Amino acid sequence: MPISLRKHEEYFTFHDPMQDGKLIDRKTEIRFDPLTGETSRIIFDPGAPFVPKDYSELAKAAEGKKCPFCAENVSTITPRFPDELVEGGRFVGKEAVVFPNLFPYSKHNAVVRMSEQHYVKLEEFTEDLISDSFKAAHQYIKNVLEFDPKTEYVSINWNYLPPSGGSILHPHIHVLASEQPTNYQAAVTSSSHDFYKNEGMNYFISLASEEREHDERWIGKEGSINWMHAFAPKSHCDFLGVFDAPSFNELDSDAFDDLAKSLLRFFRYFKENGLESFNASLFIPVNKHAAEQVHFRLIPRMTIGMLDTSDMNVFNYLHGEPLSLKAPEEVAKAAAKFFAGKE
């Protein structure tokens, strides 16, 4: 089997006061990403429930005149693109409005204001709202690629609610485009090409096929997107969607409709499990190559305990080592029921 699912188990022995001082062995499982070789750790889950916050009161205090994305402000105080990039300075969809990020993270960085409503709860998102926003982002990328042919790396990114790092409650996504990759893009591109060179196959297509066949982390399929849980997750859950499209030019309107339908299914899983916030990224190869594939990653974010402790710590930031309280196989089975009948 060309895709190797490798893990290493370690055991820590101690007397557990929660079990009357019984001598126990507690396991830590180190998993190796089958593409990049990067490791993540599955650690003991104490079983404490995730408890989502209600941001309704905070939203009331921050909406309207105080929010640059609300209707009375978005067309007057947000930045404008140069006309040679976007005629008129902004894209406007059904509710989506696309404009430059005032504090850019990349050579090209658009913000897509997703809705007119200031605070949209998970259960209030609709297929049209999500797909319209991603289609508007796609149009911006198309303009960038025509305007700046040196662009090689693009992604569409979503931070939802404060635990994700989102600084504005009003739902919005970021579009990044640059000549330079992020660390993730560089690692995945390099490793995908190595895999293709060594195995003669596309890694992501092979992974989706094997995960579906073995059914340990397989979740389901929505239209043109194959969904599974990552073997070596980047957080407590890590949902991976592999598109049929290999690159930007093959992404069509239906693909974004499929993504929107998929996200609504995951949002129902989130609500059932006390999850509210998330990070998500759509990674889009610019040029078609047999080694590369459009793919999506979705990671819930949360705070833990009475102190509202961040779910990110020294392991994530300084060791570059994600931790997960949840076993991927268990999460996949729980999420799969929301895709039942979509094979």
Handedness of CA 172, 176, 181, 185 (dihedral sign): positive
Domain match, 190 and 309 both: yes
What's the pLDDT at 261?
A: 98
Q: What mean pLDDT, rounded, does the chain reach?
A: 95
pLDDT tens-place string over residues 283-292: 999 999 999 9
What's the pLDDT at 189?
A: 98
Domain match, 25 and 117 both: no
What's the pLDDT at 1?
A: 52
* pLDDT-above-70 percentage for the chain: 99
Beta-carbon neighbour count of residue 29 at 10 Å? Answer: 16
Query: Residue range 71-88: average pLDDT?
Result: 94
Domain match, 33 and 92 both: no
Domain match, 63 and 154 both: yes
Query: Residue range 19-37: average pLDDT?
Result: 97
Residue 120, domain CATH:
3.30.428.10
342 pLDDT more than 60:
no
CB 231 within 8 A of CB 39: no
Number of domain units in the chain:
2
Block residue for tokens 């005149």: 65
51 pLDDT more than 90:
no
Distance separating alpha carbons of residues 320 and 106, to the nearest angstrom: 22
Query: Residue range 305-324: average pLDDT?
Result: 91
pLDDT tens-place string over residues 101-112: 999 999 999 999
Domain match, 32 and 177 both: no
Q: H or E stretch including 113?
A: strand 108-113
What's the pLDDT at 218?
A: 98
237 pLDDT more than 90:
yes
In a domain, 120, yes or no: yes
Domain match, 134 and 170 both: yes
What's the pLDDT at 50?
A: 86
pTM: 0.96
Contacts of 70 (CB under 8 A, 6+ apart): 63, 64, 116, 118, 170
What's the pLDDT at 343?
A: 53
Domain match, 61 and 34 both: no
Domain match, 24 and 62 both: no
Residue 34 is part of which domain span?
A: 6-42
Domain match, 14 and 119 both: no
Q: Which two tokens stand for residue 137?
A: 């982002």
Q: What is the DSSP string of 141-174?
A: HHHHHHH-TT--EEEEEEEESGGGT-S-SS-EEE
What's the pLDDT at 96?
A: 97
Query: Residue range 245-252: average pLDDT?
Result: 97
Domain match, 198 and 233 both: yes
